[in-house]
Amino acid sequence: MSDTSTISVARATIDEFSGALPGQLDGAFRRLAAEFWEDGSVRPEAVPGIPALLDILGAVPTAQQAKLAVLLGLLAEAAGPDGDLPARAAVRAGLDRYLRLFQDGAPDAGRSAALLFLLGHFPEDRSQILAVVSATEVDQDDLSRLTRCLQPYETADAATRWNLGRVFPSPAVWGLTKEEREANPALEDWLGLPAGRGAGLWATETRALLAYAGAKALWAAEHGPTVSPFVVPAPGGEERTAEPAATPDVFRGHAAAFRCPRCLEPLGGSPEPTGPTGTAGAAGAAESAVCAGCSAAYPVRDGLLDFHDEPSGPSDPLLAGRYERGLRAGFVRIMGANWGGWVSLDDEDAYLTEHVRPTEGPVLDLAAGAGRWTRVLTRSLGEDRVIALDLSAEMLAQLRAKLGGVLTVRGSALELPFGNASLGGVNCWNALQAIPDPEQAISEVGRCLRPGGTFTILTFRQAVDPLYRYFQRGLERQAHRGSFDPDQLTGWLADAGMSVRDLSGPGNFLFVTAVKD
C-alpha cells in the first residue's frame, strides 16, 4: 500500500475517532491505534500520518485528547523493523502542544495522566517539561516518576544514581530517609556492577516506570481518576507475637513433613553444632538438620532453617521494609488493572479465610515474603500449624519479627524440602509469577499436598486488550512472568493432580483454589 493510500485510510479512521459518541469512543480508539501501532511496533507506512494526529489533538474533546496522548506515547517508544524508533521524531514535534494542554487550566485525570506518560519519553527536553509540569498541582508520585524517566543515566549525579533499584513504582513511594541513604550503599556498589551494567539497569527501570505510567493513563482515560493504593496497613496493625521458647526441635513438631530437597530422604537434628557449610565446630555455629540418605547438612541460623545452599543473589537491604507499601502495591495495581481499587486487601484476606481448607498436616505459605498473608493464615490455623518459606532471608527476618511462632524456612519453590503427601495445604499469594519455572513449582506443590488439601493462589491473567497487555509486559523484567493464560494454569494444576475448585477475580486478577485429587 502506498503512503498516499495509507494516509487516506488513517484519515478515515481519525475522522471516525474524532466524531465518535461516548459509547463508541473506546472501539473507535482501538481501531485508530491499530492503524498506527501493533504489539509494541509502529507500522512504518503509518508514520506519515502522525502529523494528522497532532492536528486534531487540540480540537477534539478532552476524552479524545487523553486517548490520543496515550497513542502518541506508544508511538514514541514503538520499534521499527530495524529496532529503531521511526515515529519518535514525528511525535516529539508536538511537544509545545502537549505542554500547552498541560497548562490550559482545565485539569482532567485521564488527560493529565496520558500527557505525563507521553512527556516521559523526551529526556532531551527535560528542563522545559519539568518547568511546566512542576508549576501545576501534579501528584508527587507522578512528578517523581516523570522526573526519573526524563533523567539520562549518563548525566545523573551521584545522589540520583544512588536510587538505582529504588524507584518502582515511583521514587516518591520509597520515601527513603536521610539516615537510610547514609547507612546503605548505592545499589551499584552493593551489586558490584561491572562497567556499563548500571546503564542497562537504569534503562530497564525506565521502561518499567513508563509501563506503569502508560497503564495508569490508559485506565484513567477510559474510567476516570485512579484510587491510591499506597495506604496498606497490615491486618491487625504491626503487633508482634511473643518469641517462642527455645526448643531443641528445629522442626517445631513438623519433622515428619520434611525431607532432603536433594534426595527426599528423612532429616534429623545434628548432634553437634555446624557452621555455614555444615562443618562441625565452625565459627558462628548453629544447629543443623542432616539428611539420613546423602548426609547433606542444612544449617539453622537464628531460627531460620536454610535449605538453599546457594545465595539467591545480592539484594537491597532496604527492599524488605518497603515491599508491601511500594513494590507490591504498585505491581498489583498494574498487573491486576486495579486502578479503581476493586480488589482491596480486605478482599484478599477474606478469600484466604474462606478458601484455605487444609487436611491434616502443616500448611505452607510458599514465597511468604514479609509475612502479611502468613499472618492471615495464622489467624485461622494458629502459628504452630503454619510454615513460611521464601528465598529471601531479609524478608523472612521481617516475618519472624512479627510472627515469632511460625517456623521459617529458606528454600526454593522448585525443590520443596517436604515429603510426598506431607502438607495439609499450600498458599502462594502474589508470587507464582515471580518463580522462574511456575509449572515446576506447581508440580512440587502437587507432590507435597495430601489428598483433599487446598492450594490457594493469587496471580494475574493476561489482559485481553492488546494495549493494556503491552503495559503488563513492560514489567516482565521486574518479574519472571507477569501473567498467565488461565487455561494453561488450569492444565498445569491438572497435571500436578489437582482439580480447580474456584477460578475468579475481576479485571486481570486470578484467584484460584485447587484441591489435590
Per-domain residue ranges of the chain: 3-223, 319-516
Least confident among 197-211, 289-303, 307-321: 307-321
Cβ atoms within 10 Å of 135's Cβ, excluding its own: 10
Residue 33 phi/psi, 5° resolution?
A: -60, -40
Q: Tens digits of per-residue pLDDT, 49-94? A: 999 999 999 999 999 999 999 999 999 999 998 889 999 999 999 9
Among residues 202, 201, 229, which one has the least CA distance to residue 215?
229
Question: Do the beta carbons of residue 119 and residue 209 sit within 8 Å?
Answer: no
Q: Tens digits of per-residue pLDDT, 247-280? A: 567 888 999 999 999 999 999 864 444 444 344 3
Which of 33-42, 153-162, 189-198, 396-405 has the largest mean confidence? Answer: 33-42
Single-letter amino acid code for the residue at 216: K
Please tell me the distance from the alpha carbon of residue 199 to that of residue 446, in angstroms, as a whole number. Answer: 42
Local structure of 227: helix, strand or coil: coil
Please tell me the distance from the alpha carbon of residue 73 to that of residue 91, in angstroms, as a whole number. Answer: 8
* Predicted local confidence at residue 279, as pLDDT: 40
Least confident among 113-117, 431-435, 444-448: 431-435
Percent of the chain with pLDDT over 90: 68
Burial class (CB in 10 A: 0-12, 13-18, 19+), 26: middle
DSSP 80: -
Residue 482 has pLDDT above 80, yes or no: no
* 3-223 and 319-516 in the same fold: no
Single-letter amino acid code for the residue at 242: A
Residue 167 has pLDDT above 50, yes or no: yes
pLDDT, mean of residues 166-180:
87
User: In which band, very low, low, confident or very high, does the pLDDT at 494 lie, cut at 50, 70 and 90?
Assistant: very high
* Predicted local confidence at residue 190, as pLDDT: 66
Please tell me the distance from the alpha carbon of residue 163 to that of residue 5, in angstroms, as a whole number. Answer: 49
Residue 156 has pLDDT above 60, yes or no: yes
Q: Tens digits of per-residue pLDDT, 29-40? A: 999 999 999 999
Local structure of 511: helix, strand or coil: strand
User: In which band, very low, low, confident or very high, does the pLDDT at 321 lie, cut at 50, 70 and 90?
Assistant: confident
User: In which band, very low, low, confident or very high, does the pLDDT at 312 lie, cut at 50, 70 and 90?
Assistant: low
Higher pLDDT, 55 or 241: 55
Superfamily for the 319-516 domain:
Vaccinia Virus protein VP39 (3.40.50.150)
* CATH number of 3-223, picked from 1.20.120, 3.30.70, 1.25.10, 1.10.10: 1.25.10
Higher pLDDT, 129 or 481: 129
Residue 96 has pLDDT above 90, yes or no: yes
pLDDT, mean of residues 220-231:
82
DSSP 461: B
* Predicted local confidence at residue 266, as pLDDT: 95
Q: Tens digits of per-residue pLDDT, 397-425? A: 889 999 999 999 999 999 999 999 999 99
**Beta-sheet strands, E only, within 338-448:** 363-366, 386-390, 407-410, 423-429
DSSP 26: H
Please tell me the distance from the alpha carbon of residue 248 to that of residue 23, in angstroms, as a whole number. Answer: 68
Local structure of 479: helix, strand or coil: coil
- This prediction has a pTM of 0.90
Q: Tens digits of per-residue pLDDT, 279-310? A: 433 333 447 889 999 999 999 887 789 998 66
Residue 376 has pLDDT above 70, yes or no: yes
Question: Do the beta carbons of residue 504 and residue 74 sit within 8 Å?
Answer: no
Give 435's contacts (C-beta < 8 A, 6+ positions apart).
Answer: 367, 413, 414, 441, 480, 481
Please tell me the distance from the alpha carbon of residue 87 to that of residue 47, in angstroms, as a whole number. Answer: 6
* Predicted local confidence at residue 280, as pLDDT: 38
* Predicted local confidence at residue 268, as pLDDT: 81
User: Residue 460: beta bridge partners?
Assistant: 509
Cell of 260: 532432603
* Predicted local confidence at residue 502, as pLDDT: 98
User: In which band, very low, low, confident or very high, does the pLDDT at 311 lie, cut at 50, 70 and 90?
Assistant: low
Burial class (CB in 10 A: 0-12, 13-18, 19+), 49: buried
Handedness of CA 175, 179, 184, 189 (dihedral sign): positive
Cα radius of gyration rounded to whole Å, the chain: 26
Question: Do the beta carbons of residue 270 and residue 297 sit within 8 Å?
Answer: yes
Cell of 48: 506519515
* Predicted local confidence at residue 286, as pLDDT: 47
Please tell me the distance from the alpha carbon of residue 503 to that of residue 501, in angstroms, as a whole number. Answer: 7
Least confident among 33-47, 188-202, 378-392: 188-202
Torsion of CA 207, 459, 508, 214, to 10 degrees: -10
